[in-house]
Structure 1
Amino acid sequence: MVFNLTKLLRLTSNKVVLRECHSIFGLKDLIQQEKLVKVSVVPVHKDKHALAIDIIKEYFLTEHALVCDRRMNVHDDRALDEYLGTLLKQGNSLFAKTRDGTIAGLCVNFASSPVDPKNLRNYAFYRQDPNTKDFLYFTAKLQETPNLWSMFKEPKIFQINMLTVLPDYRRQGLATMLVEKSQALAQSQGYKVIRMDCINPYDYKLAERCMLKCLTKFPLHKLRGANAPFIKRSSEYNRCIRVYVNARPQIDSDKEIKQQLSELEDILG
């Protein structure tokens, strides 16, 4: 026989265990499926805001396109701490926690209104660090591109933002769970429009898995500051951003939505 197996694979309900074997194909090198960790999704309470900010900086912002492009040091940036703190104070953000209380993931959620980008730009104007200033300007510009408040005629929209799962707990469905719980939270509070901006490839696949609809997409270099793009066209971090929504538009608004999307495409070129 081709194989000389002394022991075979044993299949359990939650794990594939590889037993000792000998084969010219190296079956003992098969990848072992890890046991899924049981988690619960809970609100991020006030006493955990500092921990949440540290997680955002360590696992989300370090992969952010603009942060990487500018090689920003976000760890000692008090202006970012203050901005992130204002988002967490709304009380809509969620932790994924294991049974022993270990944080496995985080999703920062917040409700936004049309004045928020303007307020964020005003806040950015007084920051001293030019990269921090541009990061906040970039965030404000993205928040209103496209302008969903006008498009769907809603005074506030619910934004699913800054989603991250810690490395040891990835590929176990936690991100999907956080997005689904965030959508349920938004709907329970009466929000009719939910927005999720996706830059990384796995983000948009996650959004589609959670039944959000891609409203528009464009390369990041199309987002411009006062004098130049935030991210240059030639940058390796010039990724395509996709804006996903879960919305219940008014019956007479479909035509206007299409018109505004067409105008946005003309602006972005």
Structure 2
Amino acid sequence: MSSHFGHTILKILSNHTPSKAILQDFKRTFALFKTRDKVKEISPYIIVRADKDEYNEVLNVMHESYYPEEPTCYSLKIAPNPILDERAMKAMEEGFTLVAKCKYNGCIVGACINESTSPWDPEMEEKLACAVKCDKLKKLLMFYAYMMRAPDLWRCLGVQKVYEMSYAFVKRSHRKKGLAYKLLSESKSLGADAGFPVVRCDATNIYTAKICERLGMKKVAEIPYCTYLDQNLEPIFKPPWPHEGVKIFCDCSPQFHEINRKIQKKSNIFGFRKKSKEKEQEV
């Protein structure tokens, strides 16, 4: 390669007016030394639906990564318990849960538990709260019922089913790699493909809220933690900064937005191929 390059240079130097063929030969040779675009890094993770046999493993990851840091659970110092596990298991049994797996060992490193909610679910949540003996857990479940009713999407939009992205979590050692965004993005697409008229996410922390904004979801309600008070007019939740409240996001046209996303993705791929061909022709 170096001898060919040197030969081309000598040809150009020996001719004051190099021919078109020599210039093309020089361009073709010089292109070998140009820096290529960085190859996109292949992710070591895959996003798939959770199998029934994996539900217990998802719960274990949830115990480790969700409850200790989720603002409402952190404020009340709530540890994993059978009631919350049963609630999460019931949501997973609907079959909409997505998990992030390591390609090399198959371990689950994160998940997004998705479920459908109906107009009668807040009342059922309150009944469950009244049957609980633990005062902290009672407060948490009552807050869940309050969140469900806050935007009242069932009445406002005239629907009976809402697809909700309820719990999203990633193991600490696998964070800052875009997994939370991928899980929520794929979960949103799954809700659209399943035919739900509305996709919803209750962002109890600022990081989930930012992801929902990136996904183009609209904020329909907000509950500052300082405004949710107990009988003594004291805030029930006092999470650490920067978590200041719950932001409720929804997408009322998930199928339309999903089709646009797929079209945009295809156009980007074809555009990249077109540019690549144009560069090759120039060389």
Which residue does 2:163 correspond to in 1?
158
Shift of 1:224: 5.0
Question: What count of residue pairs does the alignment treat as equivalent?
Answer: 217
Q: Is 1:134 the equivalent of 2:146?
A: no
Q: Is 1:45 the equivalent of 2:51?
A: yes
Shift of 1:228: 5.8
Tell whether the 8 Å contact from 2:98 to 2:111 is kept in structure 1 after alignment: yes
* Paired letter, 1:185: L
Whole-Å Cα distance in 2 between the matches of residues 186 and 123 of structure 1? 27
Shift of 1:37: 3.7
* Paired letter, 1:70: L
Whole-Å Cα distance in 2 between the matches of residues 244 and 118 of structure 1? 21
Q: Is 1:89 the equivalent of 2:93?
A: yes
Whole-Å Cα distance in 1 between the matches of residues 186 and 120 of structure 2? 27
Which residue does 1:67 correspond to in 2?
73
SS of the residue 1:83 aligns to:
helix
Which residue does 1:54 correspond to in 2?
60
* Paired letter, 2:74: C
Which residue does 2:174 correspond to in 1?
169
Whole-Å Cα distance in 2 between the matches of residues 127 and 199 of structure 1? 23
* Paired letter, 1:194: V
- Measured against aligned partners, the alpha-carbon deviations of 1:114-160 in whole angstroms (never above 9, x if no partner) come to 11111111122111211122211111111221111111111010101
Which residue does 1:103 correspond to in 2?
108
Structure 1 residues not aligned, in runs of 5+ = 1-10, 16-34, 250-269
SS of the residue 1:61 aligns to:
coil
Shift of 1:38: 2.2
Q: TM-score scaled to structure 2, two decimals?
A: 0.69
SS of the residue 2:106 aligns to:
coil
* Paired letter, 2:49: P
SS of the residue 1:63 aligns to:
coil
Which residue does 1:125 correspond to in 2?
130
Q: Is 1:213 the equivalent of 2:218?
A: yes
Which residue does 2:197 correspond to in 1?
192
Shift of 1:217: 2.1
- Measured against aligned partners, the alpha-carbon deviations of 1:212-233 in whole angstroms (never above 9, x if no partner) come to 11222230233356x4668447
* Paired letter, 2:57: L
- Measured against aligned partners, the alpha-carbon deviations of 1:64-110 in whole angstroms (never above 9, x if no partner) come to 22222122222xx1111111111111111110112121212100100
Q: Structure 1 segments of 4 or more deviating over 4 A? A: 11-15
Whole-Å Cα distance in 1 between the matches of residues 97 and 234 of structure 2? 27
Give the superposed CA RMSD: 2.6
Whole-Å Cα distance in 2 between the matches of residues 160 and 215 of structure 1? 15
Structure 2 residues not aligned, in runs of 5+ = 1-35, 255-283
Which residue does 2:24 correspond to in 1?
none
Q: What is the aligned-residue identity percentage?
A: 24
**CA spacing shift, 1:13–1:52, aligned 2, 3 Å:** same
Q: Is 1:243 the equivalent of 2:248?
A: yes
Whole-Å Cα distance in 2 between the matches of residues 163 and 188 of structure 1? 19
**Structure whose CA Rg is larger:** 2
Whole-Å Cα distance in 1 between the matches of residues 234 and 252 of structure 2? 29
SS of the residue 1:109 aligns to:
strand
SS of the residue 1:190 aligns to:
coil
Tell whether the 8 Å contact from 1:66 to 1:230 is kept in structure 2 after alignment: no
